[in-house]
Amino acid sequence: MTKSYQTYVDGQWTSTGQTMDVFNKFSGEVFATVPLADGALTEKAIASAKKAYQSFRKMPAHQRSAILDKTVELINKREAEIAAVISQEVGKAWKFSVNEVQRSAETFKFAADEAKRLHGETIPVDASRFGENRFGYFIREPLGVIGAITPFNFPLNLVAHKVAPAIATGNTIVLKPASATPVSSLILAEILEEAGLPPGVFNVVVGPGREVGDAIVVHPDCKKITFTGSPAVGNQIVRKAGIKKVTLELGSNSATIIEADADLEKAAARCVVSAFANSGQVCISLQRIYVNRQCLDQFTKIFVDKVKGLKVGNPLDEDCDVGPLIDAKEVERIDTWVKEAVKLGAVVATGGHGEGRVYQPTVLTQVTEDMKIMCMETFAPVVSIVAYDSFEEVIDLVNGSEFGLQAGVYTNDINKALQAVDDLDVGGVMINDTATYRVDHLPYGGNKLSGLGREGIRFAMEDMTNIKMVMINRN
Compute the least distance from the CB of residue 228 to ligand NAP, in Å: 5
Using the rule CB under 6 A, is 46 a contact of ligand NAP?
no
Sole window of 34-42, 177-185, 293-301, 428-436 interacting with ligand NAP (rule: CB under 6 A): 177-185
Sole binder of ligand NAP in the list 91, 151, 381, 428 (CB under 6 A): 151
> Within positions 392 to 421, which residues make up the interface with ligand NAP, using CB under 6 A?
405
Catalytic residue among 89, 100, 106, 249: 249
Sole binder of ligand NAP in the list 91, 147, 165, 229 (CB under 6 A): 229
- The residue number with the shortest CB distance to ligand NAP is 209
8 Å CB contact between 145 and 48 = no
CB atoms within 10 A of CB 370: 9
Compute the least distance from the CB of residue 188 to ligand NAP, in Å: 15
Which residue's CB is nearer to ligand NAP, number 114 or number 440?
440
Sole window of 13-21, 86-94, 178-186, 260-268 interacting with ligand NAP (rule: CB under 6 A): 178-186
8 Å CB contact between 367 and 378 = no
Sole binder of ligand NAP in the list 74, 86, 158, 268 (CB under 6 A): 158
Integer Cα distance of 326 and 328 in angstroms: 7
Using the rule CB under 6 A, is 100 a contact of ligand NAP?
no
Using the rule CB under 6 A, is 149 a contact of ligand NAP?
yes
Residues sharing a CB contact under 8 Å with residue 373, sequence separation 6 or more, in sequence order: 287, 337, 338, 341, 346, 364, 367, 382, 384
Strand partners, 428: 406
How far lies 43's CA from each of 11, 56, 162, 357, 409, in Å?
15, 20, 20, 37, 47
Catalytic residue among 222, 271, 283, 320: 283
Integer Cα distance of 75 and 191 in angstroms: 7
Using the rule CB under 6 A, is 351 a contact of ligand NAP?
no
Using the rule CB under 6 A, is 142 a contact of ligand NAP?
no
Residues sharing a CB contact under 8 Å with residue 196, sequence separation 6 or more, in sequence order: 66, 67, 70
Using the rule CB under 6 A, is 228 a contact of ligand NAP?
yes
Sole window of 208-216, 293-301, 384-392, 459-467 interacting with ligand NAP (rule: CB under 6 A): 208-216
Decide if 320 is catalytic.
no
Decide if 222 is catalytic.
no
Sole window of 149-157, 185-193, 297-305, 358-366 interacting with ligand NAP (rule: CB under 6 A): 149-157
Compute the least distance from the CB of residue 59 to ligand NAP, in Å: 28
Compute the least distance from the CB of residue 200 to ligand NAP, in Å: 22
Using the rule CB under 6 A, is 96 a contact of ligand NAP?
no
Site residue total, ligand NAP (CB under 6 A): 31
Which residue's CB is nearer to ligand NAP, number 262 or number 407?
407
Sole window of 6-14, 95-103, 111-119, 204-212 interacting with ligand NAP (rule: CB under 6 A): 204-212
> Within positions 237 to 256, which residues make up the interface with ligand NAP, using CB under 6 A?
237, 249-251
Which residue's CB is nearer to ligand NAP, number 202 or number 379?
379
- Residues in touch with ligand NAP (CB under 6 A): 149-153, 158, 176, 178-180, 208-210, 213-214, 217, 228-230, 233, 236-237, 249-251, 283, 377, 379, 405, 446, 451
- Catalytic amino acids? 249, 283
